[in-house]
Structure 1
Amino acid sequence: MEKKVVLITGGSSGIGKSIGTFLASKGYKVYGTTRTPANYPDFDVFDLIQLDVRDVDSIQHAVSHVISKEGRLDVLINNAGVGITGPIEETPHEEILKVFDTNFHGPVHMMKAVLPQMRKQGGGTIVNITSIAGYMGLPFRGFYSATKGALGLITEALRMETKDFGVTITNVAPGDFATNIAAGRYHAPVLDGSPYEDNYAKTIDSINGDVDSGGDPEQVAKAIYSIINKKRPKVHNPVGAFLQKFSLTLKRVLPDKVYEKLLLNHYKL
């Protein structure tokens, strides 16, 4: 049986690397991407190619490279993403645009790039990695929630638009996992004398603590392996600790103000 070909954006570390490692161990032909492959000279877990999701030419070149090498592309996993924190009022707008370029526009360009090939070969799977944070507006993480929420809605829409092509599009929403995402996250500075100073500082400490105590990212890899082997995967697939997933149920059933109060209590605001 011919190996299925997988392309993972942001595959050099964290959740992306865990996904690629696990799928390679299951016999998939995996291509991971990074903006600067030269930074990983000893990387030998799977093929690592250059791609910057903020650059459409880079995307087209990478996708064309995989298709020319393998003749097909079976699975796209839109994993590349960045974090951002800050009071909405005080976050520099250029940083807002950057996070949307990576977390939202990048995956959209990736899907546009692979859909013609998947349609030509009569099938394929696209997995968009969003976040449990994308189902709710979190204090001082509003822009991150917005990018992930927007990608989740695009997933819903594109599933219906492509239903006749044999292409499966789904959304995997991780909770907190122990990765290096905090190191690359943009933090708007805590400004002395800002009306948000105390609450924002407390929230950053809480967010970093949640990541540090997060689960093993291989849990996400195993969930994706299961999803891409299903004929009809669910639209939304949250992955994480029980309470994080249960928070989505609570949001559906509780009055808005009650749910808001739970979030405020969680962040001690």
Structure 2
Amino acid sequence: MPASILKNKTALVTGASSGIGREIAQLLAERGARVFGTARNPQSATPIPGVEMIAMDVTDDASVAGAVRSIVQKAGPIHFVVNNAGYGLTGAVEETSLAEARQQFETNFFGTLRVTNAVLPEMRRAGFGRFANISSVVGFLPAPFMSMYSASKHAMEGYTESLDHEVRRFGVRALLIEPSFTKSNISHSGKDAELRLDDYSVQRDLILQATRNGIATGDDPRLVAETVFTALTASSPRLRYPVGKGVTLSRLRRFLPAGVFDRAIRKQFQLN
């Protein structure tokens, strides 16, 4: 599928006010799509050239339905959706309350379901559409002390792969984008579990500092945006698109023996 497929097409990018989402929205607009970016408070977001910002809270059914309805009224059918809205939650499993875990899934996972279900019927009837769901390498790797974030991305992976098989015969595809550490504000926009247990404090702090360092020296978000563009415009897209360092991690996960992989993870996170 040539890049010109974006011409005269409408794209929706959730969580577009900063970081990866902002970069994706800007690139798609540069490449010719009419792009709508979402934020809970679009008035406070820095404007993006060529991108129309609208209000959407992905945790609220009425907000999602209203935003999609508004886009369709302004621009007609939505052809491309990038489900990017989300945040990170840090803390050991034992430190994480059920309420905190539910909120993590409400945004990272169920938010994607809400947006997808609001857009999919028209895509199916039109016989064309693409969903690019922003997962992570922790959608196929463990993430100690970010277990609920990792679990939400594991859920995203199973959901997207299953959805893709269901809708492919209608000319619709659901695809996974799997970044590794990427320079963004996720460490600032994330949340910490309220409970803090001393037994976990040393390892938790070591891992969270390593995570912050990884983000600070991570891949450029433009690389993620280019990968999204490739996925949306490919004539025969594949299901998974690892990004940057995620390509190597994906191969290691697939080909390393389980015991070797387990030891490597524990060494990486200083869990021994």
TM above 0.5: yes
Gaps of 5+ in 2: none
1:201 equivalent among 192, 205, 209? 205
**Residue 245 (structure 1) shift:** 2.3
> For residue 248 of structure 1, what is the aligned residue in structure 2?
250
Give the distance between the partners of 1:41 and 1:134, measured in 2 at CA. 30
Q: C-alpha displacement at 1:156, in angstroms?
A: 0.7
The amino acid that maps onto 1:246 is T
Structure 1 residue 189: deviation in Å?
A: 5.3
Residue 85 of structure 1 and its aligned partner are, at CA, apart by 1.2
Deviation sequence 1:129-148 (CA, Å, 0-9, x none) = 00011102221111111100
**Partner SS, residue 140 of structure 1:** coil
Q: Show the 5 A alignment for 1:98-247.
A: 98-188=103-193, 191=196, 194-241=198-245, 244-247=246-249
Q: Which one has a larger percent helix, Structure 1 or Structure 2?
A: 2
Whether 1:94 and 2:96 are equivalent positions in the alignment is no
Task: Write the letter of the residue equivalent to 1:240.
Answer: G
Tell me by how many angstroms 1:72 deviates: 1.1
**Contact (CA 8 Å) 1:190, 1:201: kept in 2 or not?**
no
Q: CA separation in 2, counterparts of 1:172 and 1:234?
A: 10
Confirm whether residue 71 of structure 1 aligns to residue 76 of structure 2.
Answer: yes
In 2: Cα distance, 1:118 partner to 1:22 partner: 23
Alignment deviations for residues 216-265 of structure 1 (CA, whole Å, 9 cap, x no partner): 10011111111111121110111022xx4222222222232321111111
Give the CA deviation at 1:213: 0.8
C-alpha deviation, 1:198, in angstroms: 0.8
1:120: Cα distance to partner?
2.0
Match of 1:265 among 239, 244, 267: 267
Question: 2:12 matched to which residue of 1?
Answer: 7
Distance 1:181 1:41 in 2: 17
- C-alpha separation between the residues in 2 aligned to 1:169 and 1:28? 19
Judged with a 3 Å threshold, the aligned counterparts in structure 2 of structure 1 residues 79 and 41 are, in CA distance, closer, same or farther, namely closer
Contact persistence 1:18–1:217 (CA under 8 A)? yes
Contact persistence 1:190–1:197 (CA under 8 A): no
Count, aligned residues: 266
Q: Percent identity?
A: 33
Within 2, Cα distance between the matches of 1:160 and 1:133? 22
CA distance in 1, matches of 2:88, 2:10: 28
Conserved in 2, the CA contact under 8 Å of 1:190 and 1:200? no
Letter in 2 for 1:174: P
**What per-residue deviation string (whole Å, max 9, x for no partner) do you get for residues 113-156 of structure 1?**
10111012221111110001110222111111110011111111
**Aligned Cα root-mean-square deviation (Å):** 1.5
1:209 offset after TM fit, Å? 0.6
Deviation for aligned residue 1:43: 5.0
CA distance in 2, matches of 1:90, 1:258: 29
Distance 1:42 1:120 in 2: 33
Under a length normalisation based on structure 2, what TM-score does the superposition of the two structures give? 0.93
8 A Cα contact 2:105 2:152, kept in partner: yes
Q: Distance in 1 between matches of 2:195 and 2:256?
A: 33
Is the 2:136–2:178 contact (alpha carbons within 8 Å) kept by the matching residues of 1?
yes
| AA matched with 2:269 | Y
Distance across 2 between alignment mates of 1:40 and 1:10? 11
Paired letter, 2:249: S
